[in-house]
Amino acid sequence: MGNTLDQSYVTRSAWKPDIFKGKVVFVTGGAGSICRVQTEAMVLLGANATIIGRNVAKTETTAKEIESLRPGAKVIGLGNVDVRDVNSLKKAVDHTVEQLGKIDYVIAGAAGNFLCDFNHLSSNAFKSVISIDLLGSFNTVKACFEQLRKNKGAIIFVSATLHYYGVPFQSHVGAAKAGIDALSNALAVEFGPLGIRSNCIAPGAIDGTEGMARLAPPSATPFVNKIPLQRMGTTEDIADNTVYLFSPAASYITGTISVVDGAWWHIGGVM
Ligand code: HXC
């Protein structure tokens, strides 16, 4: 997948170059297309990071590539960690604290998806996606909670818009993402008094991502003209939103779902 960031982001973006200096971000799904670029932006703007994945080689290589973006940056890649297993996440958190000192920000982005109609979707297939997306998001916060509490941290869940209306062949993902929104909203209220913020980012059609490769049929090419803003989203659009939500500029923002989709869902996500 393309569309990664380089050093020019620091001068091109609206953000101060050292806005996250001394901060640490913990990212599940960080070797995937969207969460990788979220991590890149945080690292380019001063943070250190741990990225979590199931594929060891991919996760470790991606971590090295992100680390090379900023001299002095530390980025740990921990493969063989499955978000369905809270204990493997707890070990990853312990390792991060040992190596990087703490965790300030959490991106719960690990997700699984495929197109499948209800008739062919097995109970186990439904459960797999719910377990990766929803239970995995819960487990991520569970494992990071003490760090979030100690450091008055912030969480971003990666959601979607497809549960705002009915999307065929996506009943499993729609149900999981609706649950993630509900989880985030509840945590925003529970965690508010602790100084922890919880928000979701709901990407629309983001160019060059695994999600689009899996979900958009080749015949969908002309659908760009149907998106009100007349273009597909970029991973940088998601990165910018991530930086905003973690930055002090969003210190009074919690319990929101930030839709980054060029108003696509308002027209029913038509392709
Ligand atoms: C129907 C399928 C299937 C498919 C798997 N299954 N793929 N059913 N159609 N294409 C079924 C299997 O047959 C099995 O059920 C069950 O799902 C579990 O499959 P496993 O392969 O054992 O599970 P696992 O190895 O854990 O893989 C999880 C996965 C896989 C979700 C199925 O696709 C995955 O790991 N994906 C991770 C990467 C990914 O999807 N990234 C995209 C994220 S994009 P049975 O009954 O046979 O046992 C994204 C965007 C969302 O999330 C927003 C969109 C707008």
Q: What are the structure tokens assigned to 238, written together?
A: 């998601």
Cβ pair 86, 137 in contact under 8 A: no
- The 3-class SS string of 66-127 reads HHCCCCCCCEEEECCCCCCCHHHHHHHHHHHHHHHCCCCEEEECCCCCCCCCHHHCCHHHHH
How far apart, in whole angstroms, are the C-alpha atoms of residue 83 and residue 86? 6
Cβ pair 235, 33 in contact under 8 A: yes
For the CA of 122, the closest atom of ligand 1 is: 46
CATH value at residue 176:
3.40.50.720
Say if 75 falls within a structural domain.
Answer: yes
* Element housing 211 (H / E): helix 210-215
Say if 269 falls within a structural domain.
Answer: no
Is residue 204 helix, strand or coil?
coil
| Most distant CA pair in the chain, distance | 52
Say if 268 falls within a structural domain.
Answer: no
Q: Which domain holds residue 201?
A: 17-259
In this prediction, residue 1 carries a pLDDT of 59
Ligand 1 pocket list (CB less than 6 A): 111-114, 116, 120, 122, 124-125, 128-129, 132, 160, 162, 173, 210-211, 214-215
Query: In one letter, which amino acid is 34?
Result: I
The rounded radius of gyration (Å) of the Cα atoms in the chain is: 17
Q: Which residues of 27-39 are buried (b: 16+ CB within 10 A; e: fewer)?
A: bbbbbbbbbbbbb
Tell which one of 128, 180, 261 to mutate to probe ligand 1, the residue whose CB is within 8 A of the most ligand atoms: 128
Q: pLDDT by residue for the chain (271 residues), tens digit each?
A: 568 999 999 998 899 999 999 999 999 999 999 999 999 999 999 999 999 999 999 999 999 999 999 999 999 999 999 999 999 999 999 999 999 999 999 999 999 999 999 999 999 999 999 999 999 999 999 999 999 999 999 999 999 999 999 999 999 999 999 999 999 999 999 999 999 999 999 999 999 998 888 888 666 667 899 999 999 999 999 999 999 999 999 999 999 999 999 999 999 888 8
From atom 19 of ligand 1, which residue's Cα is the shortest distance away?
Answer: 125
From atom 31 of ligand 1, which residue's Cα is the shortest distance away?
Answer: 112
How far apart, in whole angstroms, are the C-alpha atoms of residue 141 and residue 203? 21
Domains held by the chain: number: 1
Say if 7 falls within a structural domain.
Answer: no
Sign of CA dihedral 114, 120, 218, 220: negative
Say if 9 falls within a structural domain.
Answer: no
Say if 264 falls within a structural domain.
Answer: no
| 111 Cα: distance to centroid of ligand 1 (angstroms) | 9
Q: What are the structure tokens assigned to 93, written together?
A: 């958190």
- The 3-class SS string of 24-60 reads EEEEECCCCHHHHHHHHHHHHCCCEEEEECCCHHHHH
For the CA of 161, the closest atom of ligand 1 is: 55
- What ipTM does the predicted assembly reach? 0.96
Phi, psi dihedral angles at 154 (to 5 degrees)? -145, 150
Q: Which of 53, 246, 71 is nearest to 156 (CA)?
A: 246
* Element housing 200 (H / E): strand 197-203
From atom 44 of ligand 1, which residue's Cα is the shortest distance away?
Answer: 211
Q: What are the structure tokens assigned to 130, written together?
A: 């719910």
Tell which one of 80, 83, 114, 159 to mutate to probe ligand 1, the residue whose CB is within 8 A of the most ligand atoms: 114
How far apart, in whole angstroms, are the C-alpha atoms of residue 191 and residue 37? 27
Say if 265 falls within a structural domain.
Answer: no
| 82 Cα: distance to centroid of ligand 1 (angstroms) | 14
**What residues act catalytically?**
159, 177
**N- to C-terminal Cα distance for the chain?**
21
Phi, psi dihedral angles at 255 (to 5 degrees)? 75, 25
For the CA of 162, the closest atom of ligand 1 is: 55
The pTM of the whole model exceeds 0.90: yes
According to DSSP, the residues that pair with 197 across neighbouring strands are 154
Cβ pair 84, 131 in contact under 8 A: yes
Say if 4 falls within a structural domain.
Answer: no
